[in-house]
Amino acid sequence: MKTIDIKGNKETIIERSDYPPEKVKELLAREVTVILGYGPQGRGQGLNMRDQGYDVTIGLRKGRSYDRALEDGWEEGKNLVGMEEAAAKGTIIQYLISDAGQISNWPMVKSHLNEGDALYFSHGFGIVFKEQTNIVPQENVDVILVAPKGSGLSLRRLFEKGQGINSSFAVHQDHSGRARERCLATAFAIGSAHVFETTFAHEVYSDLTGERSVLMGLIEGAFRAQFSVLRANGHSASEAFNETVEEALQSLYPLINEKGMDWMYANCSATAQRGALDWAPRFEAVLKPVIEEIYQRVREGKETQIAIDSNSKEDYRDQLERELKEIDESELWTAGRALRPLRPGG
């Protein structure tokens, strides 16, 4: 456990060494852990736990995810069972299906929660926006959260490299008196490197804001804007892609990841430094009101309602595939497909 001081604000970080495997296995020994869902988080968390020898069962309906679980070595009737059968036997139920799926399956899951069970989330959506989701657990269960700060794919890849991903954790309801220990034990069982405490509300507000901003929406918009300006001014697609995406991801962003923004600046040319320092305030002034608008829409539940309404439509999957195909077939990412194989080792 480590206390860090960030400009006078102290925070406690819980490290993997605080919860070594033997301690985690002892804490989880009397638990029956089941994971409902096999999307990116369900798959990543489940495989990481299984590979370390934890007793975990996947609960799924027959279909594409079920077939993938079989391909990954889960055994039908043993550690791969139907969703309702899994929910009935779990003492820690990791509820990792989609937000829309959580809403539709909630009556079934709630009916199988027994006194002292733990209901585990990796996103605060269902609990925080209970007026829209109707997900309200009974008072005699623990309600906990572990939210890896990255996709389930990243969680899995880093685990396979012997590394880990940072996660937040929260206890919303502690009936058993052991909710915090159950939460932290599971956090390290799934492959977290270190964890920091939050609340369900803070997790979902920050997560939904980030996804719409610097994590996904903003970065795609910035890539598209710069690429289109360069192309409109006569630059080739390969030059526009390299200056927009390739240099960012392969050269500059790794420097930020390694030691911070100032270190990236220090390792660029004087011309690049000056341009970045002069223009960063302009971008901040333009973007801050947009991100503030996003944050307030998230808090008010407006973005939640859009997600619920969209994901509940019968043709949602078809519509999503059309939107993703449009991105995939854009000139920007067509250039990316052509150029990525030319990287050394690509």
Taking residues 195-222, what's their average pLDDT? 96
Q: Is 35 left (phi over 0), alpha (psi -120 to 50) or beta?
A: beta
Residue 9, classed as helix, strand or coil, is: strand
Domain with CATH 3.40.50.720 in the chain: 2-197
Inform me whether the pLDDT recorded for 8 exceeds 90.
no
Taking residues 112-121, what's their average pLDDT? 97
DSSP state of 76: B
What is the predicted pLDDT for the residue at 174?
98
CATH code 3.40.50.720 for 2-197: yes
Q: What is the DSSP string of 204-224?
A: HHHHHHHHHTTTTHHHHHHHH
Confidence of residue 346 (pLDDT cuts 50, 70, 90): low
Say how far apart CA 76 and CA 69 lie, in whole Å.
9
Confidence of residue 343 (pLDDT cuts 50, 70, 90): confident
Taking residues 128-137, what's their average pLDDT? 95
- Whole-number average pLDDT of the chain: 94
Tell me which residue of 102, 166, 175 sits closest to 144, measured CA to CA.
175
Say how far apart CA 74 and CA 93 lie, in whole Å.
18
What is the predicted pLDDT for the residue at 312?
80
Say how far apart CA 169 and CA 147 lie, in whole Å.
6
Say how far apart CA 302 and CA 296 lie, in whole Å.
9
pLDDT in tens, 261-283: 999 999 889 999 999 999 999 99
Taking residues 311-335, what's their average pLDDT? 91
Enter the pTM of the model.
Answer: 0.90
Residue 113, classed as helix, strand or coil, is: coil
Instruction: Dig out the tokens for 41 from the structure.
Output: 């988080």
Which residues are annotated as catalytic? 123
Please list the residues that pair with 56 across neighbouring strands: 33
Taking residues 42-52, what's their average pLDDT? 96
pLDDT in tens, 52-109: 999 999 999 999 999 999 999 999 999 999 999 999 999 999 999 988 889 999 999 9
Inform me whether the pLDDT recorded for 320 exceeds 80.
yes
Taking a C-beta distance cutoff of 8 angstroms, is the pair 62, 70 a contact? no
Say how far apart CA 108 and CA 277 lie, in whole Å.
54
Q: What are phi and psi of 60, to 5 degrees?
A: -145, 155
**Packing angle of the helix pair 302-311, 200-212 (nearest 10 deg):** 70
pLDDT in tens, 139-195: 999 999 999 998 999 999 999 999 999 999 999 999 999 999 999 999 999 999 999
